[in-house]
C-alpha cells in the first residue's frame, strides 16, 4: 500500500506522488479517477479494486509551478554527485558556499555546489580566487520540468514517462 502513485491534475499535468492507500481513497470518494493500473488488484472481503499506478484528479487544483527544492540532496543530484572542484564522483560529498557566508555569500542555487571533503577543507573560508581553485561549471538553478522533479521515481515506474515528459 506504500507503492508510489503518480497524481495528475485535471489537465493531465503531473503534480504529485502519493501512496496506493491515499490514491484508492481519492478514487473511492470520487475525487480522482484511474488513468493507469497494470499493477493487479487489491482484494477486500467483498470487492476488488484495481491497484493504481496513475490517477487523475476530477477537479483542477490550482497550484504554483513546482520548483526543485533547495536541499542538499537536490544540490548533489544537480551536480551529479561530483565534486565541482576536482571532479571526483563519490557518495560522500559536502555542500560548499562558493562565496563564503561570512563574506555575504547567498544560500541559493548559484552559490552552492557539491564538494568532496578534501576540496571543501582546502578551500576553507576563502573565495575560489583566494584559494586558487576552479569550478567545473557555473552552478545554475535546475530545470523545474516534471521529468527532472520526478526523475528519481522514473526508473521503477517507466510507465509514468509518457505522463511526465513535456511538462
Contact footprint for Zn ion (CB under 5 A): 83, 85-86, 88, 116, 119
CA–CA distance, 123 with 136 (Å, rounded to integer): 15
Query: How far, CA to CA in Å, does 75 sit from each of 91, 93, 97, 124, 166?
Result: 13, 10, 12, 19, 23
Name the minimum Å distance from CB 112 to Zn ion: 15
Query: Measured from the CB atom, is 15 or 112 closer to Zn ion?
Result: 112
Query: Measured from the CB atom, is 125 or 143 closer to Zn ion?
Result: 125
Name the minimum Å distance from CB 164 to Zn ion: 33
Report the SS3 class of residue 57: strand
Other CB atoms within a 10 A radius of the CB of residue 133 amount to 18
Query: Measured from the CB atom, is 63 or 134 closer to Zn ion?
Result: 134
Nine-digit cell string for 51:
491497484
CA–CA distance, 138 with 127 (Å, rounded to integer): 15
Name the minimum Å distance from CB 95 to Zn ion: 13
Name the minimum Å distance from CB 55 to Zn ion: 43
Query: Measured from the CB atom, is 36 or 116 closer to Zn ion?
Result: 116
Amino acid at each position: 500500500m506504500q507503492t508510489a502513485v503518480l497524481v495528475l491534475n485535471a489537465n493531465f499535468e503531473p503534480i504529485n506522488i502519493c501512496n496506493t492507500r491515499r490514491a484508492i481513497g481519492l478514487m473511492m470518494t470520487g475525487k480522482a479517477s484511474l488513468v493507469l493500473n497494470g499493477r493487479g488488484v487489491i482484494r477486500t472481503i467483498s470487492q476488488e479494486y484495481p491497484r493504481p499506478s496513475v490517477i487523475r484528479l476530477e477537479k483542477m487544483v490550482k497550484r504554483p509551478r513546482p520548483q526543485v527544492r533547495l536541499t542538499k540532496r537536490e544540490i548533489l543530484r544537480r551536480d551529479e554527485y561530483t565534486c565541482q572542484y576536482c571532479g571526483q564522483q563519490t557518495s560522500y560529498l559536502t555542500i560548499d558556499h562558493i562565496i563564503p557566508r561570512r563574506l555575504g555569500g547567498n544560500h541559493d542555487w548559484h552559490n552552492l555546489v557539491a564538494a568532496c571533503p578534501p576540496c571543501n577543507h582546502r578551500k576553507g573560508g576563502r573565495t575560489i580566487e583566494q584559494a586558487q581553485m576552479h569550478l567545473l561549471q557555473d552552478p545554475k538553478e535546475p530545470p523545474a520540468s516534471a521529468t527532472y522533479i520526478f526523475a528519481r521515481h522514473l526508473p521503477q515506474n517507466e510507465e509514468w514517462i509518457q505522463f511526465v515528459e513535456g511538462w
